[in-house]
Structure 1
């Protein structure tokens, strides 16, 4: 039996919800319209991604976070430490399931009372109360380069390694937020040496695995999906290793794991 990703969600709601989310999260929250969603992240002061999520504006003062990795109760507890006197509540919702729904325009949100559907263009990602979900949405999202962060990698990766600027999950032209100085420095000066790739694996691997060559840490595995044609994964790779793989030859790592790069994304 496959293990389906649970829907770990939380609500931020109240008169100060927009100001709070805009100040804490890396995306341009204040420009998010009601009935729309965007990728966003919560960074630590060193610019590393503590949480990655789809942020949906359900109403003027009500936001739903669907975590792409991590536990909602843990994130809610951490966020509450920064509420201070702001008029808002941060609530972790009971675990639900994720399921694949019909095509909806990218970034649209449909809340019909039974489920919340996030439009993903070729499909929708439905947050449902049922005990049974499915993982059919995972492959198109993996191939689109939409990261999912396994627990060992929370707080470990910089936004540029996850291609978050391409997804508009980080903004360099808004006010200060945790990690903003690091994001701006990497954007304007460059210098980060690891980036995101979709690859085909020669053998099974697990999300969170470290990729090593000659004993050196050269990357990590974010998500793995087995298809009829083999095993595909989203990985973060050191640029020097990725450059060698672009010649069309599979690159071999320790433990005899070989990868073939199918797609790559800049920061």
Structure 2
């Protein structure tokens, strides 16, 4: 049975963009994230593959992380910005063999792959669409490590990578893993995860797990909205301040060393529907937006959980969705400390 046939046989429902939204029980799937291991087809992400002997040097001159320092057994978050320091995309970067892979929001992949390719020039590297022959599965939950180890033979620590016969296994924070597998082997691996007791869930559940991990993903709704530090990118290892030049590096460095950071990313809850790109307001801003939602996902208890970049000074007055009198945002904890 093909990969798509396997998903359809299990009742996967897709939206107009082709993302798997749920497997018929959306509310129960959200609640399951807390109590059991879940597995999700990560169709919301694309993969750009870079191949060639000068790949590390090329990517190091384009991305915010130190790609040259990335070993085979590790992954790193990164970003790609305009010369003005505004993020065009965020990535999870890892290696397999001699190739480097950039996981990116699927809706941005084609444009960012084309843009990066424009700067290759004489560098001995080439970009290609790895989503054609690779599938990414996400596994999360209290017993995720045991189930991933049962089907792949390993369960690496956060931001560590193990390469097995069945998959490239990437450990993430908050008891989460990604399994990158050849397309023709994805169905068998998926079935083995289900047999081990994992529950299939749709894209909103994984998005909720990203929010709880404090891992921002730039999408079309938030391109060029944030400098890296506003979205806490340096706190998750996505920014190197010692590696040298890349687009936007001067702005990022100035923000770090010369200026006081006025905006930060916070985890919030709101008792209302919300979406990436929605603006948030505070009374002291005199009608101007205080910030913008990076990610939003339905919460098991109702409403939405959010990652929000907003003025730090607005926290005292309170943040509201849509306007200063809109639904109130309530702050939740992140898994890492803010400066």
TM (norm. structure 2) is: 0.70
Listed one character per residue, the Cα deviations across residues 189-214 of structure 1 (whole Å, up to 9, x for unaligned) are 12332110000112111122122346
Conserved? CA contact 2:81–2:248, under 8 Å: yes
User: What residue number does 1:66 align with?
Assistant: 103
Conserved? CA contact 1:147–1:222, under 8 Å: yes
Give the drift of 1:146.
0.5
User: What residue number does 2:290 align with?
Assistant: 218
SS at match of 2:96: strand
Say whether 1:94 aligns with 2:131: yes
Give the direction of change, closer, same or farther, for the CA distance of 1:66–1:11 in structure 2 (3 Å limit). Answer: same
1:1-267 residue pairs with structure 2 within 5 A? 2=21, 5-59=43-97, 61-68=98-105, 70-94=107-131, 96=135, 98-100=137-139, 102-103=144-145, 104-112=156-164, 115-121=167-173, 122-127=175-180, 129=183, 134-135=202-203, 136-213=205-282, 215-230=287-302, 231-245=304-318, 251-253=319-321, 254=323, 256-263=326-333, 266=338
Q: Could you say which structure has the larger radius of gyration?
A: 2
Listed one character per residue, the Cα deviations across residues 223-267 of structure 1 (whole Å, up to 9, x for unaligned) are 11223223211111112212334xxxxx44426221001136647
Conserved? CA contact 2:64–2:240, under 8 Å: yes
Runs of 5+ unmatched residues, structure 1: 246-250
Give the drift of 1:142.
1.0
Conserved? CA contact 1:99–1:133, under 8 Å: no
For 1:54 and 1:188, locate their aligned partners in 2 and report how far apart those are by CA, in whole Å: 25
Between Structure 1 and Structure 2, the one with more strand by share is 1
SS at match of 1:177: coil
- Number of residues paired by the alignment? 261
Give the direction of change, closer, same or farther, for the CA distance of 1:187–1:127 in structure 2 (3 Å limit). Answer: same
Listed one character per residue, the Cα deviations across residues 69-124 of structure 1 (whole Å, up to 9, x for unaligned) are 64222111101111111111111233655432633311122444654432114120
TM (norm. structure 1) is: 0.87
Between Structure 1 and Structure 2, the one with more helix by share is 2
User: Which piece of structure 1 moves more, 23-32 or 256-265?
Assistant: 256-265
Give the drift of 1:7.
2.3
Give the direction of change, closer, same or farther, for the CA distance of 1:143–1:149 in structure 2 (3 Å limit). Answer: same
